[in-house]
Amino acid sequence: MRRFSFLLLAILCLPATLLAQKGDRKGHEKMDSFVPEDEIPPAPVLQVNDALKTFQVAPGFAIEAVVAEPLIEKPVALKFDGDGRMWVCEMRGYMPDIDGKGEEIPQGRIVILEDTDNDGAVDKRTVFLDKILLPRAVYLLDDGILYADQSNLYFIARDGDKPSGKPIVIDPDYAKGGNVEHKGNALLPGLDNWIYNSKSDRRYRKINDEWVMERTHFRGQWGLSQDDFGRLYHNNNSTLLVGDFLLPNTVFGNNGAKVKSSMSARIGSNAVWPIRVTPGVNRGYINKVNGYGSDTISSKTYKLINATGASGFAIYRGDQFPKKAYGTAFVTEPCGNLVKAISISDGDGKLTGDHPYGDKEFLASTDERFRPVDAVTAPDGSLYIIDFYHGIIQHKTYVTSYLRKQYISRGLDGPGYGLGRIYRVKAKDKPLGPVPKLQSLSAKELVPFLRHDNGWWRDTAQRLIVERGDASLQADLTTLLSTPSKPLGQLHALWCLEGLNILTPAHVEVLLNSGEEKLASSALAAARSLPDPFIPTALPSIIAYKPGKVSAIYQARFLAGINSSIATEALVELLKKHDSQLVREAAFAGLKGREADFLAANDNSYKQKDFIKWLNDAAKKSKNKVPPRTIKGDHLASFKRGEAAYQGKAGCVSCHGLNGEGLPNLGPPLNESDWVTGDTTRLASILLHGLMGPITVSGEKYAPLAAMPGLAQNPTISDQDLADITTYIRQNWNNRSPQVTKEAVEKTRAATKDRAGTIYTEADFK
């Protein structure tokens, strides 16, 4: 032990340059911990019964273990099947040690966990699939599963609890580019029968036995959830919760003009209240005590101030918690060892939120190894918390020298394998709900569950009904659709009809006449799936409908998508009466490809200048399409190398996206950006030394939450790499600008060598 202590002391005293990490930033040389060592508690591995003693849970609730090692290891995601069994992704290869050695070895698993004696705890484990490289998401079907690894989205058929045949790649670009912290995940079945993802702009659906992929808004980083009305919620590491005001793709689909969408917003603050001292966060050294301009952890309490690792979450839609908790977001934050509750208020088309427990958390632990990474509403009405239970939570790409010392000093760098837990949080004064047995029921027998008080039961019944494709259910679903005493049942009946391709104008009209704006909104959204022959029948009732502020958005989207003079005239009148940003966005989305026709029909009747500019820009763009890429030789070779670097080792894709349109709160657009196609010296300078927002790109202001780090000090990125990346982004998407050479980058590096890692701001280039 004395020898180990001596070696540890020697390691911690080594100069920072000898322990330099990929996550270190130039200009952040002062990485001293200002937290007194005697204030930092140890972080030993605790048996699950001892770990339970470390929790503080909100009054009226209790926490208990559902499963722990050895029945589970490194869990990151789960789905319940129709019988309440858990299908869990075990990301075994994630950071086995401080250097991430072995991460490239396919050793992850998808396992099935069951409680066979109904005592509330798992007692059976079945490995469904193993040797997967960092599995991150799973989706269940009657005849197989979808799952995602470090690169692809797959389907594999199953025979009961055994895989059948080989995996089929559904999307080879599902998790393309970036590192393990910045790849697609979630696979959430939406109310609208599409499958949605986090850290992604893709959605999927099986149509006529073929998997179809469509584009959608980019959302989040880890985790995804929805409310009763199908609106999606997402987040990123430093933003606990973001909510969409509308159903997906209502204001999406027309890229003919740059429209900065207003369909989502942050909900609640990002403040957190850990119950243990938390120096072990990646930028814990950033503090005014150390000469920085802000504080990551408090210099008084030594605890995390705002979220830095927000992860998966649930919008609670169960029936076991008190009614006031229904619709609350429960967000995991593994760096703070806590689960945050955010109450969501919905009014007038906007979502707001607050923290119902003030400066207390819904759930928090003094165990530094408690790493909650996702939360799920369970069939029994409780809330399941997935605990990765691993000392290292930061990927090697971002580990700083500061964090390395923190991990090693408390032994958090081991053990690399063998641990993991799933907990159940329940209300103390109410029994848990029954174990479901939906899997063996016929589609007709599933219909009553569409009106269940627990959202999991409704969602699962809808998924199974749609998947089984029984069109004979039209009468049963129509009866439920016409039952106003169960509005959520009406909603699920509507989308079952849509998913089975048996929706009619009469069904839409039922909800338009319901007097409930949210039901009418959903009906207008579903009406976009009506077959073309039904449109003339549907139009009169849709035009006659008198919308509110929210339903006007959906009405605009429907009318804009119909190529008819009657619909166009109605759209003009709607725009004049309900002149809001989201109504305009919805109309513009629906008018894709017909902008010039609308301008002619409008005849300057509706004059809102932004909307007219969008239409003119799109009409002009459709006439002057981007010329084909004609590069060859060295230019083409540089472009291809740049593509690989952009999506791989440079990690540009993580913030700017595969389509170059930028990602919310992360990076501004590169497509048609004057910063990309303009001054090449400026562009090379930014790649070398980084850029801090806000930044104005082609007239639009962007304010990413963090600075873009420079690549000048990255030993894996050469000047040739920088030239290739620059060439790639200047010639990709709608950009058609000349090549940038290695010699040009070398010249810029020499000219800017005195910046010494100081990140640029927009003002530096004015």
Give the mean model confidence (pLDDT) for residues 550-565: 96
pLDDT of 757 reads 64
The sign of the CA dihedral 521, 523, 527, 529 is: positive
Give yes or no for residue 624 having a pLDDT over 90: no
Burial class (CB in 10 A: 0-12, 13-18, 19+), 575: buried
Q: What confidence tens digit (pLDDT) does each residue in 432-482 have?
A: 999 999 999 999 999 999 999 999 999 999 999 999 999 999 999 999 999
Task: Specify the higher pLDDT residue, 303 or 629.
Answer: 303
Give yes or no for residue 661 having a pLDDT over 90: no
As a whole number of angstroms, the distance between CA 327 and CA 338 comes to 19
Give the mean model confidence (pLDDT) for residues 10-21: 42
Closest CA to 565 of 529, 534, 598: 598
Instruction: Judge whether 470 and 500 are in contact, CB under 8 Å.
Output: yes
Around 118, how many Cα atoms within 13 Å sit in the side-chain half-sphere?
A: 7
Give yes or no for residue 766 having a pLDDT over 90: no
Q: What confidence tens digit (pLDDT) does each residue in 107-135 have?
A: 999 999 999 999 999 999 999 999 999 99
Gyration radius of the chain over CA positions: 27
Averaged pLDDT of the chain: 92
Q: What confidence tens digit (pLDDT) does each residue in 584-600 have?
A: 999 999 999 999 999 99
Task: Specify the higher pLDDT residue, 655 or 42.
Answer: 42
As a whole number of angstroms, the distance between CA 447 and CA 462 comes to 8
pLDDT of 12 reads 36
pLDDT of 20 reads 63
Tokens of 136: 């991150």
Say what percent of the chain tops pLDDT 90: 78
Residue 566 pLDDT class (50, 70, 90 cuts)? very high
CB proximity list for 349: less than 8 A, separation 6 or greater:
245, 549, 550, 553, 582
As a whole number of angstroms, the distance between CA 635 and CA 153 comes to 32
Residue 723: phi, psi to the nearest 5?
-65, -40
As a whole number of angstroms, the distance between CA 405 and CA 13 comes to 10
Instruction: Judge whether 699 and 614 are in contact, CB under 8 Å.
Output: no
The sign of the CA dihedral 395, 396, 397, 399 is: positive
As a whole number of angstroms, the distance between CA 592 and CA 609 comes to 18
What element of type H or E holds 345? strand 338-347
Instruction: Say how many Å lie between the first and final Cα of the chain, rounded.
Output: 59
Tell me if the domain spanning 11-251+267-427 has CATH number 2.120.10.30. Answer: yes
* CATH superfamily of this structure's domain 633-765: Cytochrome c-like domain (1.10.760.10)
Closest CA to 356 of 431, 246, 267: 267
pLDDT of 19 reads 45
Give the mean model confidence (pLDDT) for residues 286-313: 95
Task: Specify the higher pLDDT residue, 717 or 380.
Answer: 380
pLDDT of 11 reads 32
Task: Specify the higher pLDDT residue, 552 or 753.
Answer: 552
Give yes or no for residue 5 having a pLDDT over 60: no
Q: What confidence tens digit (pLDDT) does each residue in 248-278 have?
A: 999 999 999 988 888 999 999 999 999 999 9
Distance of CA 531 to the CA centre of its chain: 32
pLDDT of 18 reads 38
Residue 15 pLDDT class (50, 70, 90 cuts)? very low
Only one residue has tokens 């003094």, namely: 366
What element of type H or E holds 49? helix 48-52
Give yes or no for residue 3 having a pLDDT over 50: no
Q: How many CB atoms lie within 10 A of CB 755?
A: 18
As a whole number of angstroms, the distance between CA 81 and CA 438 comes to 9
Q: Which of 139-143, 374-378, 385-389, 733-737 has the lowest mean pLDDT?
A: 733-737
Closest CA to 31 of 405, 410, 407: 405
Give the mean model confidence (pLDDT) for residues 725-746: 92
Say what percent of the chain tops pLDDT 70: 97
> Strands 162-171 and 185-189, how do they pair?
unpaired
Task: Specify the higher pLDDT residue, 236 or 627.
Answer: 236
Give yes or no for residue 10 having a pLDDT over 60: no
CA dist 725 → 56, 350, 636, 641, 661 (Å) = 49, 40, 12, 8, 16
Give yes or no for residue 369 having a pLDDT over 50: yes
Give the mean model confidence (pLDDT) for residues 187-194: 98
Q: What confidence tens digit (pLDDT) does each residue in 672-717 have?
A: 888 999 889 999 899 988 888 889 888 788 887 677 888 887 778 8
Find the length of the chain: 766
CB proximity list for 319: less than 8 A, separation 6 or greater:
381, 433, 452, 453, 454
Only one residue has tokens 């699920």, namely: 492
Q: What confidence tens digit (pLDDT) does each residue in 537-552 have?
A: 999 999 999 999 999 9
Burial class (CB in 10 A: 0-12, 13-18, 19+), 477: buried
Residue 650 pLDDT class (50, 70, 90 cuts)? confident
Domain limits, the chain: 11-251+267-427, 438-502, 515-625, 633-765
Give yes or no for residue 386 having a pLDDT over 50: yes
Residue 138 pLDDT class (50, 70, 90 cuts)? very high
Give the mean model confidence (pLDDT) for residues 516-532: 97
Give the mean model confidence (pLDDT) for residues 319-326: 98
User: For residues 114-149, b (16+ Cβ closer than 10 Å) or e, as one string?
Assistant: bbeeeeeebeebeebbeebbbbbbbbbeeebbbbbb
